Amino acid sequence: MKLLTWNIQAAIATTNFSDYLTRAHRQVIHTASKASTLEAVAETIRAADLVCLQEVDLGGRRAGYRCQAKAIAELSGHDHLVIQENRVIRGVSRHGNAILSRYPLSNVKDLKLPGRVPGRGCLIATVDVETRFDVACVHLSLGKKDQALQLEFLARHLPRNGQWVVMGDFNCGLIASPVEDFLERTEAQFDHQPAPTYPSWRPKRAYDHILAGRAMALSHYRPGAEICSDHLNVSADLLSG
């Protein structure tokens, strides 16, 4: 099963540092260019069986009042979709996470992560395949203290049998102390030390990760080359442990 995770930056399509200024208006208003960005995202994820997306606008003004996750799923052909809304800026945006799947999803949990500033979430669903497992889509905060709280919270909500995968934007590397504690506590597996994914045009920091429980195994971890966001996507193959 091919896995993929991507912080799509609400289709704002920052492709260099100057875009943070020149494309700042895309944070608050809709532009026609976002449609082509969503199409590029959909084309990239088409080959993946299970996809976790972060920084998806679920229908705010800046998305043209259209759910970006649904638009992507329609274009990519993923029949199963669950979404999570984490922060609403009235009249501007609806921030959230999404899981897209070729397989049915059940037992959906919309979890709000602890932290000093609200608005971070974890979306968990069971993937209904022969050997069922849980997938968690996460977007962690920036600070280490919040990350530690959030990963401790996440660990309590993962199956104890090790049948799970966690994908998302951790905003830190695997050698950061909050993640090291999480890896030790959950006996999580990863293919190898991840490559940098941020910023996408000149990656220096490994922020985006795919981890698996002890009953699962990953292979062929790789960052994508597509620059549709300020983060690169990450994919891996999931095997039975």
- Whole-angstrom Cα distance, residue 199 to residue 11? 15
Q: What is the mean pLDDT of residues 97-110?
A: 98
CATH classification at residue 100: 3.60.10.10
Let me know how long the chain is.
241
Predicted pLDDT of residue 190? 87
Predicted pLDDT of residue 240? 62
Judge whether residue 163 has pLDDT over 80: yes
* Phi then psi dihedrals of residue 85, to 5 deg: -95, 130
Residue 124: which domain range? 2-240
Q: How many domains does the chain have?
A: 1
At 57-85, the pLDDT tens digits run 999 999 999 999 999 999 999 999 999 99
At 177-234, the pLDDT tens digits run 999 999 999 999 887 777 899 999 999 999 999 999 999 999 999 999 999 999 999 9
To which H or E segment does residue 101 belong? strand 93-101
Bond prior to 118 in cis (omega within 30° of 0)? no
In the chain, the percentage of residues whose pLDDT exceeds 70 is 99
Predicted pLDDT of residue 189? 87
The structure's pTM equals 0.95
